[in-house]
Amino acid sequence: MSFLTKAFGFDPKQHKVRTEIVAGITTFLTMAYILAVNPGIFSALPGMPGGAVFTATALAAIVGGLVMAFYAKKPFGLAPGMGLNAFFVFTVCLTMGYSWQFALTAVLIEGIIFIILTVTKVRTWLLNAIPGTLKKAIGAGIGLFIAFIGLQNAGIIVNNDATLVSLGDITHGKALLGLIGLVITAGLVMAKVRGGMLIGILATAALGLIIKDPATGAAITTLPKSVVALPDSVAPIFCQFEWSQIFTLDMLVVVFTFLFIDMFDTMGTLIGVCQGTELGEKENIEGLDRMFMADAVATVAGACLGTSTTTTYVESASGVGAGGRTGLTAFSIVVCFAIALFFSPIFLAIPGAATAPALIIVGVMMMHSIKVIHWEDYAKSIPAFLTIILMPLAYSISDGILIGVIAYVLTHAISGKFKDISVTMWVLAVLFVLRYIFI
């Protein structure tokens, strides 16, 4: 136990090894989709083999997770971020016309800047400058956001050209599987069964062997043809940087965009996941600098390995919801990613519909923070509401935070409550407005 305490911040009086490990596995299962999604996104770029990207994705998650486990001693998982990988491929490379080597160079520079901002405590200063009302709203907004992701993964909510979104066919296929899984997982959680969300994921995946996809007639969960597969080499994409254009305006814009999105996504994730637990009891979350450093180091490592910006995952909320509180949870996530390198056919067999119930339940858990928002004070409640609602609707944690900060300054200025607006908030609001105008 003394080793666990020293290595992971584990307190045997407060924490249990089994709970931390189960929490790590739970988080891994809810974020493991990135190992399938990331290679698929990067397959649009010639010269980036899917197998190499798969390996780079797992290794970046391992590096970031080790720093989070041993240095920050917190229960968060890291991996290449969704949204950031799409910006890398579809905007920088396919729209702006730059090579993937150029984009990797931008990610590397962004990661180095992150390290500098973390060492100088600028990131922590920015986070601590956000008013308590917005912090509570961020937690609830992220809860809606990850629940929305779960509903999409299960096909319960689908695209509709007329209304943007609508209810899917919940009587068949993965939507039906997701709803059954939600009932099972909710029952386990209400009964306070330890590892209830993990059991729910596994039980739902097992049911997927019976329930069929109406479009294909095949079972939603398919047994893999092989069990073990050696990981592909990252040699084709390792340290493939392009230095000839690092002083161009486009490089500045790309680096700034990566930096901006990653910074506020991570800030929002840490605030939201910590809310409602002893991790976030204090106004200023303890150990932020170390958590930010894990994120920054993982980004630099990911760029060297050949993948997009690596960031703290909001799906970590599922592990925290399962009781994870220390670096042992993060280390358990690392072990899962290491195993996944060799057993990818197995974990890839778990469908998104099976992990969706856990994300929805965690979304419920994160909504409690709205009860302390002063809804009768519109100068505070309007920015809080915009922060909450825009995260799922704009499909962006960072946009929810940015609009929330701008709205907070505007509503307080309009109502004459200038004393409640700090200098930092004024500066942030102006910068955020400029961001939407010029980027």
Average pLDDT, the chain: 88
What's the pLDDT at 359? 86
Q: How far apart are CA 142 and CA 266, in angstroms?
A: 11
The amino acid occupying position 167 is L
Res. 192 pLDDT band, cuts 50 70 90: confident
The amino acid occupying position 29 is L
What's the pLDDT at 279? 65
Q: How far apart are CA 209 and CA 204, in angstroms?
A: 9
Q: How far apart are CA 257 and CA 215, in angstroms?
A: 39
The DSSP letter of residue 219 is B
What's the pLDDT at 281? 54
Res. 437 pLDDT band, cuts 50 70 90: confident
Look up tokens 């592909």; give the residue. 232
What distances in angstroms separate CA 131 from CA 134, 144, 226, one per listed residue? 6, 20, 52
User: 324 vs 253, which has greater pLDDT?
Assistant: 324
What's the pLDDT at 277? 61
Res. 225 pLDDT band, cuts 50 70 90: confident
Helix, strand, coil share of the chain (percent; to 5): 65, 5, 30
Mean pLDDT calculated for residue range 187-204: 85
Res. 61 pLDDT band, cuts 50 70 90: very high
Mean pLDDT is lowest, of 85-99, 369-383, 414-428, for 85-99
pLDDT tens digits, 79-106:
998 778 877 888 788 888 889 999 999 9
Res. 65 pLDDT band, cuts 50 70 90: very high
Exposure of 220 by Cβ count < 10 A (0-12 exposed, 13-18 middle, 19+ buried)?
buried
Instruction: Collapse the DSSP code of 166 into the 3-class scheme (helix H, G, I; strand E, B; otherwise coil) and give the result.
Output: strand
Res. 246 pLDDT band, cuts 50 70 90: confident
Q: Is residue 334 within 8 Å of residue 66, measured between CB atoms?
A: yes
Tokens of 172: 């068949």
Mean pLDDT calculated for residue range 69-73: 94
Mean pLDDT calculated for residue range 385-396: 91
Res. 41 pLDDT band, cuts 50 70 90: confident
pLDDT tens digits, 111-143:
999 999 888 888 777 777 888 888 888 888 888
Helices 397-414 and 378-393 cross at an angle (nearest 10°) of 160
